[in-house]
Amino acid sequence: MEKAHTGDGDITSEPATGGPDAERNNVSSAPASAEKPEYMKGLSLYMLTAGIWIALFLSTLETTIVSTSLVAIAGSLSGFENRNWVVTAYFLTYTGFLVIYAKLASIFGSKTMFLLALILFTVFSIACGSARSMTQLIILRAFQGMGGSGIYSMVLVIAPGLVPQAEYGKYIGIISSVFALASIVGPLVGGAISTTTTWRWVFLLNGPPGAASILLVAIFLPASKVEHSNSSFATRLRAKFSRKTTQRVDILGAFSLLAASVLLVFALESGGTQYEWDSAAIISTIVLSGLLWIVFIAREMYLEHTKATQEPIFPMGLLKNRFLASMMFTTFFIGFPFVTILFTIPQQAQAVYGLSAIKASLSVLPLLLTSPAATAASGVLTSTFNIPPTYLIIAGAAIQFIGVGLAIKIPLTGDDISAQQYGFEAVMGVGFGLTLSTVLTLGQLIVSKENAGVVMGALTQIRVLGGTIALAICSAILSNHLKESLAGVITAEELEDISETLASISSLASERAAEVKYAFAVGYRKQFQLLTGFSGAAFLASLFLISRHPVTVRGVVSKNTPSSSSDSNESTLRAPSETPQAT
């Protein structure tokens, strides 16, 4: 028996294994150990959690705060036609690096990768605030997105090693509160900065709290122990980045995954806006992305079945597990309504009800408040009351299906957002909160610690990709509907002005403005009809999690505790016919 470290801060006790090939397809929980895992507690845990929360808050804030500052940025840097790339550049790299960071953490250590991500994010935030041209800002935002991606990915990798498995659900609920706060504060702070001072503070404000987060993580996150714990820093550094270590990195797999993700997101973000869907730029990008996805899958399957030095970025054998495959599909389809609705509802508030950009950002408040509340409730239910996570995932998928479906009935006319819409949003938020957070809890229970990081990263990346696809489809639906329904009502130039800024609707004569608002309302209803279909697909995918013996947190904890494993009557997910064994 030996003490193993699954990253700098993930301290567990596991038996020695027969080599890396014996771990690659391990989808079940680690066997019981004679030694109890060591977890953080007291002041060290609180200070580290503060550092993690600050880092995650800043990276999440960047996805919302910039949106209300784009006009000021474009005017200052004389780049109005390229202003959307300020958002897209961050999103491209943020999406592309999620799984890659998680895998590199298993090779170089999670503390090393977390600090690297924090430094990248903080340094390039300050650099963005100092940009002198739109081109500079776009490039710097891409590097800032690399840091933001690493922060999110590393939080998912590190969190399971900080608290006992029975407390993970509650802990992730606390961490998840950052998303609601960032979504609310972002547009408000961005709007306030743009109207009272220079837009540069949108990026510069990340400097001091970013530095504080780096300091807290550097001090309180435990570092991995090398073979000689009393060796010098230089020796440990050389060991960490030695040729033997770096040879484990699957460069081709990482490149193909990154390129495939970035090209796909680029095509979906640019199609119908900057380029026509049938243009050579979009078609060639989608085709190249598809080829790179094939290369990535083939490369990972090859590495998984050979004794190559490189380790697969994502072992494809994991998807042989019915439960993990179901979680992937459920998360993918839930990403469609979850990401899209966060954009659609504020836009609807502006286009149909004439609200300002800042007030419109608050129109999604019921969803943003109920979602983290449901996440916290999920942690309590799975940890304290030992409710099987699969039950909550299925229930959450059903609730969000109902909530999105009810949104189809949002009134098409009116002077303000109806009370029933706020109710529908609250229902959606409960469904999203229960499902997306509980999927992460279940993932920690059925996947080995060696693969937990990449699985968490993959679940997040596939959710974001699903949302990106949905955004592209919904944008096309709305655009086509507006062109058809408003032909003869407004000119092409007026429609283009409205697409640039929804506030242009108010400049039209009252009768024409009413027709435009009604056309938008019908277009958004069509979007909700489509999203209801995807929500139904998510619910159907979640049904494949049904098992006669559903896994529970207490059952896995009991199994992995030597003193109680023999007495435990709790069932775990490890059914021989359903869970692939280590090879």
The tens digit of pLDDT for each residue in 75-97 reads: 888 776 777 788 888 988 998 89
Whether 470 contacts 534, CB under 8 Å: yes
Q: Which pLDDT score, from 0 to 100, does residue 568 have?
A: 39
The answer as to whether 230 is a domain residue is no
Name the H helices within 508-561. Answer: 510-542, 553-559
Q: Which residue has the higher pLDDT, 485 or 272?
A: 485
Most confidently predicted of 317-321, 396-400, 559-563: 396-400
Token pair of 183 as six digits: 């979504």
pLDDT of residue 24: 43
Nearest to 487 by CA among 450, 529, 515, 524: 515
pLDDT band per the 50, 70, 90 thresholds, residue 451: confident
One domain for residues 118 and 206: yes
Q: Is 304 inside any structural domain?
A: yes
Q: Are residues 65 and 164 in the same domain?
A: yes
Q: Are residues 415 and 515 in the same domain?
A: yes
Residues 270 and 339 reside in one and the same domain: no
Is 70 exceeded by the pLDDT of residue 10?
no
Strand, helix or coil for residue 11: strand
Residue 87 and residue 47 share a domain: yes
Count of domains in the chain?
Answer: 3
How far apart (Å, rounded) are the C-alpha atoms in residues 481 and 362? 26
Residues 480 and 548 in one domain: yes
Residues 84 and 217 in one domain: yes
User: Using an 8 Å Cβ cutoff, are 281 and 321 in contact?
Assistant: no
**pLDDT band of 532, cuts 50, 70, 90:** very high
Let me know if residue 50 belongs to a domain: yes
Of 266, 291, 310, which residue constitutes the final position of a domain?
310
Whether 578 has a pLDDT exceeding 50, the answer reads no
State residue 37's pLDDT score.
Answer: 63
Are 169 and 291 in a shared domain?
no
In a domain, 439, yes or no: yes
Whether residues 461 and 403 share a domain: the answer is yes
Same domain? For 510 and 549 the reply is yes
Residues 305 and 393 in one domain: no
Check residues 94 and 191 and name the one with the higher pLDDT: 94
Is 145 a domain residue? yes
Q: Is 16 helix (H, G, I), strand (E, B) or coil?
A: coil
| Of the listed ranges 232-246, 460-474, 509-523, the one predicted with least confidence | 232-246
Q: Which of 93, 96, 146 is nearest to 121 (CA)?
A: 146
pLDDT of 64 reads 75
Provide mean pLDDT across the span 402-426: 93
Give residue 404's pLDDT.
96
DSSP 426-490: HHHHHHHHHHHHHHHHHHHHHS-HHHHHHHHHHHHHHHHHHHHHHHHHHHHHHHHHHHHHTBTTB
The CATH number linked to 425 is 1.20.1250.20
Task: State the chain's mean pLDDT as an integer.
Answer: 84
pLDDT at 252: 93
CA angle 134, 263, 190 (to 5 degrees): 40
Residue 575 lies in a domain: no
Q: Is residue 350 part of a domain?
A: yes
The tokens of 148 are what?
Answer: 């933001």
- 254-272 pLDDT per residue, tens: 999 999 998 998 888 788 7
CB atoms closer than 10 angstroms to residue 496 = 11
In the structure, what pLDDT confidence band is assigned to residue 233 with cuts at 50, 70 and 90? low
Which of these, 61, 97, 197, lies nearest to 464 by C-alpha position? 97
pLDDT tens digit sequence for 135-174: 999 999 999 999 999 999 999 889 888 988 888 888 888 8
- Alpha helices by DSSP H, 97-242: 98-108, 110-129, 134-158, 168-196, 201-204, 207-220, 233-240
- Domain interval for residue 281: 250-310
Assign 3-class secondary structure to 69-122: HHHHHHHHHCCHHHCCHHHHHHHHHHHHCHHHHHHHHHHHCHHHHHHHHHHHHH
Do 323 and 306 fall within a single domain?
A: no
* Residue 224 scores a pLDDT above 70: no
Q: How far apart are CA 140 and CA 130, in angstroms?
A: 10
Residue environment code for 299-317, b if the CB has 16+ CB neighbours within 10 A, otherwise e:
bbeebbeeeeebbbbbbbb
567 occurs within a structural domain: no
